[in-house]
């Protein structure tokens, strides 16, 4: 084992620890000068789970503020733009930590890595993860799973919601080109729609039993924003369009 690997090994072990917390002060790409002192020590921790086919699912928690905001991408594997959008947002926060202002942002760029690998909406067992949450309106079916949280991917997101108790959740989907919301998020959704130049839709227009919005938004009372981008997978274009909107979602108002 060469010297570099020996030096690197403890860092790798730390980074791999599920739920482990790493002080990024020494290894963050952010320079000391642009850290926001009001948010305290720059910290990043990672929670990990495995998909049905054994792919890692990661949640990156950035910052140390008391208000938690959860961002989720690629719930549906055929809607890849969320991964790139959330990657851009993470970069923006890391290079300008003032955007956090007392908040902690938790990012799950890809909830459904098996679906993403196959460009398929469902997970590897053919379940629509956005119908598999323990909402009052859950309705068992082959494509919704035999029971709420029957899938490791939806279980992981539910665990994160229980652990971090986010004030609001922003979920990125495609291709309906609108801002939809559930729970106490009407004002934020309206402002995001204005910034993204997308229509605001209080109702998506079809039943969504067992969806994240039904469960976290309507049942648990957490503001849930669903940002439905277009069919385009051009990340730069999407980032240009939604940057201000997503930064507003982080701030909350
Ligand atoms: Zn979707």
CA distances from 6 to 81, 123, 236 (A): 37, 38, 38
Catalytic-labelled residue, pool 203, 228, 237, 244: 228
Confidence (pLDDT) at 44: 85
CATH fourth-level superfamily of 41-251? Zn peptidases (3.40.630.10)
Is residue 102 left, alpha or beta, with left meaning phi > 0 and alpha meaning psi from -120 to 50? Answer: left
Work out the percent of the chain whose per-residue pLDDT is above 90. Answer: 81
The rounded Å distance from CA 68 to ligand 1 centre is 23
The confidence band for 29, taking pLDDT boundaries of 50, 70 and 90, is very low
The rounded Å distance from CA 75 to ligand 1 centre is 6
The rounded Å distance from CA 48 to ligand 1 centre is 22
Check the CA dihedral 245-46-175-94 and report its sign.
positive
Confidence (pLDDT) at 43: 74
Rounded mean pLDDT of 90-111?
94
Which one is predicted more confidently, 251 or 41? 251
Confidence (pLDDT) at 42: 58
Q: Could you confirm whether 153 is annotated as catalytic?
A: no
pTM of the model: 0.85
Quote the CA–CA distance of 171 and 125 in Å, as a whole number.
22
Residue 164 has pLDDT above 60, yes or no: yes
Ligand 1 ion local residues (Cβ < 5 A)? 76, 79, 173
């Amino acid at each position: 084992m060469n010297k570099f690997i020996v030096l690197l090994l403890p860092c790798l072990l730390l980074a791999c620890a599920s739920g482990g917390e790493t002080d990024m002060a020494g290894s963050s790409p952010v320079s000391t000068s642009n850290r926001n002192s009001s948010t305290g020590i720059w910290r990043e921790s990672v929670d990990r789970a495995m998909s049905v086919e054994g792919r890692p699912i990661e949640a990156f928690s950035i910052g140390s503020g008391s208000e938690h905001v959860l961002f989720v991408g690629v719930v549906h594997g055929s809607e890849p733009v969320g991964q790139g959008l959330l990657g851009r947002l993470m970069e923006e926060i890391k290079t300008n930590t003032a955007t956090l202002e007392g908040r902690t942002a938790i990012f799950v760029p890809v909830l459904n890595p098996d679906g993403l690998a196959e460009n398929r909406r469902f997970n590897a067992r053919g379940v629509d993860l956005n119908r598999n949450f323990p909402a009052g309106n859950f309705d068992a079916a082959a494509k919704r799973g035999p029971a709420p949280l029957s899938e490791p991917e939806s279980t992981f997101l539910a665990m994160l919601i229980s652990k971090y108790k986010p004030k609001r959740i922003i979920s990125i989907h495609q291709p309906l080109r609108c801002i939809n919301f559930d729970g106490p998020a009407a004002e934020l959704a309206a402002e995001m729609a204005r910034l993204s130049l997308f229509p605001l839709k209080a109702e998506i227009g079809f039943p969504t039993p067992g969806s994240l919005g039904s469960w976290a938004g309507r049942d648990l009372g957490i503001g849930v924003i669903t940002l439905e981008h277009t069919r385009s997978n051009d990340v730069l274009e999407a980032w240009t369009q939604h940057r201000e909107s997503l930064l507003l979602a982080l701030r909350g108002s």
